[in-house]
Amino acid sequence: MMDEIFIQNEEQRAILDSVRRFVEEEVTPRAAELDAQLDPEDSFSWEIVEAADAFGLRTMSLSEEYGGMDTDMLTTAMVIEELARGDLGISVVFAQTLKIGKHMERVLNAEQRARTLIPFRDDPRAILSICGTEPENGSNGIVGYPAPYTTRAVKTEGGWIANGMKHFISNSNRSRFFLVHMQTDPDKSMLDGATVFLLERGHPGFTVGRVHDKMGERLANNSELLFTDCFIPDENVVGEANEGHIIRRTFGPSSNIFAACSILGVAVALFEKSLDWAQTRIQGGKRLIEHDGIRAQIAEMKMLIDASRSYTHRAAHLADHPEEGWDPSLGSLPKVMASQAAWQIATWTLEIHGGHGYMKEAGVEKLVRDAGAFLHSDGVNRALLLRAANFIDA
């Protein structure tokens, strides 16, 4: 359970108790077996998604009209971390869905919300994707390099004809609804010539390609999305044509803050394994934790987790209350800090466990694979540092 110093009210405590129970009952018993599946598609579990819906997790960030609790960003961030203590992939499935759902509620018009969020509310298997990354465009969009998307939509009567491919897109072979960034002004870059389109699974000309076989975070699927002479009607344009950068800007803070929380959950799981092993393993005639080097290392793990969580929670609060001092670098740096801390804790956990940690049955190996995910996911750390530096040196 999250340390009491980070829980601000009884509502948060009750929500986290419910999430912890969900993880213990639905995620932990399945996670290792799902992670071990050779086919990445077999690592995904609709049973967990449906159980999350029954617990009220799938829609909790939305307003009551759409089946949610209208949780603020800080409370949602806490939930995402708690999910990741059970499994990183499950945390990512719902981090994506919770933040994209909230984003849709803000940026879709009334007609789009009616045909998207009401069916989303009523479908216990509905999850969501946002689609920007392409084979030739990853960090370009993070650092603001003026390159165009290679996925393009050309204006035609009543709509647009789209062609191209996205890849590495979270949930995309499973999602029901998608927000897709495409180049619509060929003379400009993704920074000022792209448009966001709303699509539903099964739309003609819009198909799923290869499902990526990832090292870790395996309970969440990522895949390619293919657009082949895909006609998209004008009513599926989100906001205004060629103003996708405005839509993207409103999404950025929650994306990286929630990514920080996902990887923090992995760090906590690693810390708990290290602490348990150090308190029970006898070497040199005493428990590992009675050796000063190990004892100090355990304390340093907690320091890194608490400091990263404090930074992330402050960012989450300010994202909802920017008038209190929001700094744009908070949309980048907490994820960098949390993922670096998690990777350091992962290597220490391996060392503390000795040879036992290298054996799969100990469960450390899976967590180490998961810990590497967010050194790049939701933005390569070096690119996020450069983006933050651009704000600092503006």
- Give the 3-state secondary structure of 150-176: CCEEEEECCEEEEEEEEEEEECCCCCC
How far is the C-alpha of 242 from the C-alpha of 69, rounded, in Å?
Answer: 33
CB neighbours (10 Å) of residue 362? 17
* pLDDT recorded at residue 5: 83
User: Has residue 348 got a pLDDT over 80?
Assistant: yes
Residues 159 and 233 in one domain: yes
Query: Which residues, in sequence order, are CB contacts of 318 under 8 Å at separation 6+?
Result: 324, 325, 326, 327, 330
Residue 226: which region, alpha, beta or left (left: phi > 0; alpha: psi -120 to 50)?
A: beta
Contacting residues for 384 by C-beta, under 8 A, at least 6 apart: 142, 256, 332, 333, 335, 336
Are 64 and 147 members of one domain?
no
Separation CA 140–CA 151 (nearest Å): 14
Final residue before a domain boundary, out of 127, 162, 187:
127
Task: Please indicate, yes or no, whether residues 180 and 298 belong to a single structural domain of this protein.
Answer: no
Which pLDDT score is estimated for 123? 98
> Average pLDDT for residues 210-220, to the nearest whole number?
98
Distances (CA, A) of 215 to 36, 43, 86, 189, 368: 11, 12, 18, 32, 10
Give the largest CA-CA distance in the chain: 80
Rounded distance between C-alpha atoms, residue 304 and residue 315, angstroms? 17
pLDDT of the residue at 251:
82
The residue out of 185, 214, 243 marking a domain boundary is: 243
**Which of 99-103, 205-209, 249-253, 296-300 has the lowest average pLDDT?**
249-253
Statement to judge: residues 235 and 251 lie in one domain:
no
In this predicted structure, which of 23-32, 140-149, 177-186, 248-257 has the lowest mean pLDDT?
248-257
Q: Which residue in 281, 221, 272, 291 sits closest to 45, CA to CA?
A: 221
Q: Please give the residue range of the domain that contains residue 360.
A: 246-392
Kindly state whether residues 34 and 116 are assigned to the same domain. Answer: yes
**Whether residue 141 is found in the same domain as residue 257:** no
pLDDT value of residue 35 = 98
- Residues 97, 101, 103, 107, CA torsion sign: positive
pLDDT of residue 255: 82
Same domain, 94 and 65: yes
Residues 113 and 26 in one domain: yes
Q: Are residues 251 and 378 in the same domain?
A: yes
Q: What is the DSSP letter of 59?
A: T
Give the DSSP letter string of 328-377. GGGGTHHHHHHHHHHHHHHHHHHHHHGGGGGSGGGSHHHHHHHHTGGGTT
Give the pLDDT of residue 354: 96
pLDDT per residue over 47-71, tens digit each? Answer: 999 999 999 999 999 999 999 999 9
Place of tokens 């304390």: 299
Looking at the chain, the whole-number percentage of residues with pLDDT higher than 90 is 95
Please name which of 93, 91, 387, 386 lies closest in space to residue 263, comparing C-alpha atoms.
Answer: 91
DSSP designation for 9: S
Lowest mean pLDDT among 6-15, 161-170, 338-347: 6-15
CB atoms within 10 A of CB 140: 20
Average pLDDT rounded to a whole number, residues 223-228:
98
Residue 357 pLDDT:
96
Nearest-angstrom CA–CA distance, 154 and 69: 39
Region 174-193 average pLDDT: 97
Q: Could you tell me the pLDDT band of residue 8, with boundaries at 50, 70 and 90?
A: confident
100 closest CA partner among 159, 177, 33, 20: 177
Residue 1 — very low, low, confident or very high, per pLDDT cuts 50/70/90? low
Q: What is the pLDDT of residue 3?
A: 77
Q: Residue 31 corresponds to which tokens in the numbers above?
A: 């996670």
Q: What is the pLDDT of residue 254?
A: 75
Q: What is the pLDDT of residues 11-43, one digit of tens each?
A: 999 999 999 999 999 999 999 999 999 999 999
Specify the pLDDT at position 232: 98
Residues 164 and 292 in one domain: no
Which of these three, 243, 278, 313, is where a domain ends? 243
Same domain flag for 153 and 90: no
CA dist 362 and 356 (Å) reads 7
Q: Using one digit for the tens of pLDDT, what is the confidence trace for 301-322?
A: 999 999 999 999 999 999 999 9
**Which candidate, 130, 55, 52, places its Cα nearest to that of 91?**
52
**Selection from 199, 200, 183, 201 nearest residue 238 by Cα:** 199
- Provide the CATH number for the domain around residue 375: 1.20.140.10
328 with 190, same domain: the answer is: no
Q: How many domains does the chain have?
A: 3
For residue 239, the domain's CATH number is 2.40.110.10
How does DSSP assign 227-264, residue by residue?
EEEEEEEGGGEESSTT-HHHHHHHHHHHHHHHHHHHHH
